[in-house]
Chains A and B, each alone.
Chain A
Amino acid sequence: MYAYDELDRTLINERVSEFRDQVKRRLSGELTEDEFKILRLQNGVYLQLHAYMFRVAIPYGTLSSKQLRRLAHVARRYDRGYGHFTTRQNIQFNWIKLAELPDALSDLAEVGIHAMQTSGNNMRNVTSDQWAGVAPGEIEDPRIWSELIRQHTTLHPEFSFLPRKFKIAITAAEHDRAAIKIHDIGLRLHKNADGETGFEVLVGGGLGRTPFIAKTIKPFVPGRDILSYIEAILRVYNQYGRRDNIYKARIKILVHELGIEKFAKEVEEEWKAMGDVGLTLDHTAIEEVRSRFSYPAYEKLPHMPDELKQAAHDKLFERWRKNSVSAHKVQGYSIVTLSLKPVGGPPGDATAEQMDAVADLADKYSFGEIRVGHEQNLALPHVAKRDLPLLFKALDRLGLATPNVNLVTDIIACPGLDYCSLANARSIPIAQELTRRFANHDTADLIGRLHINISGCINACGHHHVGHIGILGVEKNGEEFYQITIGGRADENAQLGTLIGPAVPYAEVADVIEDIVEAYLALRDRPEELFVDTVKRLGVEPIRERVYATR
C-alpha cells in the first residue's frame, strides 16, 4: 500500500474545497452550465440519462480495507447502495446529487481517495497490473512508477486542458494484465542489456470509433528520465493534437496522421530541447516514493498446507480454486480473484454490503489489501493458502465465488443504454442473458478462456474491439442492433477483432454467440487451443460460414 503523507492529504483537501466553491458557483448561477461542465468533468462528474454519475479513482487498482469501506459508505449514504467498477480501475456511482457531491468527496478525502481527473480532457487515473507487487516474475513493483506518474500528472499546470482525455497504463510482468497497448501511453517496465531498469514506451493506442493498437515510440527510456519523456510527449500532443473535431482529438490520430517516425522525431526534439527542468528522478527521489509503499510481513508457509489437501475433496472448492486462485510470488500465498460477474448480474457491480464484507475478509485474510482489475473484478492479493477453504465459503455466501474468471461469462460491459446518455443500445441485459446461457460451469470450463466484451456505442467503453468476442451496440431505424467481432485481444499480443457478419437484432445476439462458441468447439484442433488461437489459425471465414449458414 502507498501511504499518503501530509502533503498528499493537503492537496486532496484543497481540491475538495475548490470543487465545493465550483458547485456553489454553479448552484448560485455564477457559473453557466457550459462553464461548469468542464470543471465538473475535471472531477469525475458526468450528467447521465437519469442523474449525475460520479467516478472515483482507484490509482493502479490498489485499495485498503478502510478505503473500500468508505466507498461502501458513499454508495449507501449518497447513492442507491451499490457501485460499478470500471475497466480503468475506477468506481462509478450512478445516482449522486450535485449538492451532496462536495460532502461525498470530503468523506472520501479522509481516507485518501479522490476523483481528480477521472473524466475530462486531462490525464486520467494511471492504471496498472492488478497483481502488481505480488505476481511471480515481475521486473519490479510497477506501482512505484505509477505513483510517481500519478503525482506528476495531478493538477498539471500545462496539461489540464488537453485536446482530449489521456490515459497511461503500466505493466512490469511478461503477461500484460493492464492492457497497455490500448492506452494513449503504454509503459512496459523492463531491464536493458546493462541491467538498468527502464521502460519501453508505446504511444497512440486507444479504442473508440477509430481504434488503434499502440506503437513503440522508444524501446528503452531509463526510469530516471520517464517523467521528462512523458512531458515531451504531452507537450507535442498539447500543441499539435487536433481540437477541431472531438473524434479526431486523441493522440492516436496525431500519431496516425504524422506517422510514428515523424511523431517520435518531434518528441525526441522536444525532449532534447527541454534540458534539465528538474524532472530527472534520481535514486533518492525514487526511493522516497518507494519507501512509502508498505508490504505485508509474510510468514514462512508450506507450499501445500494440510487445509488445502483436505479441501481438495470438495468439488465446488476445487473448481473455484482452479479458476480463481493464482500463483503468488511468495511461497504459501495466493492471489484470489473475486468474480463480480454472477450469473444474471450486471458485470462489475458490487453492493455496499459486499464491499464492507470484502473489506472484512481483506483484513482477515489479505493484510487489509484489495485490488481492482480492468476486467471489472476484485482481487485479494495476499491470501495464505491455508485460508483458502474458509475464504471460499465466505465469498460463496456473498455471491463472490462464481468460478468464471477469464471464462465466457466473465464479461466486460459498459453501463450502456440503461444509464449512459451516449449509448445507442443496452449492454447489461446482453451480458446478463449470456451469463444465463453459459451458466453451466462445466460447459464454461470446457470452452476455456474466452473474453466477451460489450459496448453500447462506438465510444467503446466496454472494449469490444479487443474482446475475443466483441459486441457493439448500434442503432438501426430506432432499433438496437449488434455488430459482432472475433479474434480481438488486449494483452501483450493485442489485436483488434474482425467483423464476423451483418449486425443482428437484440433478440438474436445470445443465439449468435452460442453458435460462434459451438463453431469454435468443433473447429479447435485440441481442447487446449484457446478461442483466439483458433481464430488466429483459421481466420474468421470458417466460423462465419458455420454461424451464418442458416441465417
Chain B
Amino acid sequence: MPLVKQGRLTTDLFVHVADGAELPGDGAVLVTAERFLADPEALLRRGGKVGVIWPNNRNLDDLVPHLDRLASVALVFPTFRDGRAYSQARLLRERYGYDGELRATGQILRDQFVFMTRAGFDAFEVKKDADADAFAQTMKRYSVFYQPTGDGRVTALNRRMQLRHSESAGQ
C-alpha cells in the first residue's frame, strides 16, 4: 500500500507486526494497542522505533502517558464514513501536544486528505495508487478554511479581520 508522508510518496519504514507474530530484531514496528499495552517497556527498550495502532473506539487515556516515546501513532478508519479518528487526531495534536508521526490507516481516499491534514495527520496509507499520486494536487484544492484547527491555517474570519485592520490602518 502506498504511503504518503509529508506530502510525498515514501517507502514505509515501519513493519506492521500482527499480534502473536514475532518481533523483528531491529527496525521500526507498528503494533496493536493490546500488544503495546501488555508490556510497553519491553517494546520501547527494543532497538527500533515503535508505533502503535490505536483503535477508533478506545479512549486515548491509556496512550497519552507513552506519547513522547512513540515514533508513530496510527489511527484507524475502518470505512471512510467512520470519522471517530478525526477527533482522536485533533486531541493528540492539539490537547496532548503529540508531535510524532500521525498516520491514517484503513479506507483512505483522496477525498479525505484535506480534512485529515487539517486534523493533524501527516502520514497516509492510501488505498489506491491514483489517489496517492494525486496527493499534492488534492491538497491544493482548498485555499479557504472556515474553522481553526491545530494546523495553523488562518481562518476566513481572521483573514477578513486582518484585511479590515490593514485597510483602516492605511487610511
Contacts and interface: CB of A to CB of B under 8 A. Distances in A.
Nearest to B165: A284
Interface in B65-119: 80-84, 86-88, 90, 94-95, 109, 111, 114-116, 118-119
Contact of A273 (B95, B109, B143, B146): B95
B80 A8 contact: no
B157 interface: yes
Interface stretch (A54-62, A147-155, A412-420): A147-155
Interface residues of A, number: 38
A10 B114 contact: no
A274 B116 CA distance: 20
Q: Which of B95, B115, B116, B144 has the most CB of A within 10 A?
A: B144
Range, interface on chain B: 35 or more
Interface string A256-285: 000000000000000001100111000011
Contacts of B148: 277-279
B8 interface: no
Interface in B114-171: 114-116, 118-119, 128, 130, 141-149, 155-157, 159-161, 164
Nearest to B91: A235
A160 B156 contact: no
Describe B's contact surface by its main secondary structure: helix
Interface stretch (A14-22, A66-74, A390-398, A515-523): A14-22
Given A14-B144, A288-B157, A157 B149 contact: yes
Nearest to B118: A157
Contacts of B146: 11, 151-152, 154-156
Nearest to A279: B148
Contacts of B142: 11, 14, 18, 155
A401 interface: no
B86 A11 contact: no
Interface of B: 80-84, 86-88, 90, 94-95, 109, 111, 114-116, 118-119, 128, 130, 141-149, 155-157, 159-161, 164
26 contacts: A5-B160, A7-B144, A7-B156, A14-B142, A14-B144, A22-B111, A30-B130, A35-B109, A38-B80, A151-B146, A151-B156, A152-B146, A155-B115, A155-B142, A157-B147, A158-B87, A159-B83, A160-B83, A160-B86, A161-B80, A161-B81, A238-B86, A243-B82, A278-B155, A279-B148, A288-B164
Given A17-B141, A158-B87, 4 more contacts: A155-B115, A160-B86, A235-B87, A278-B148
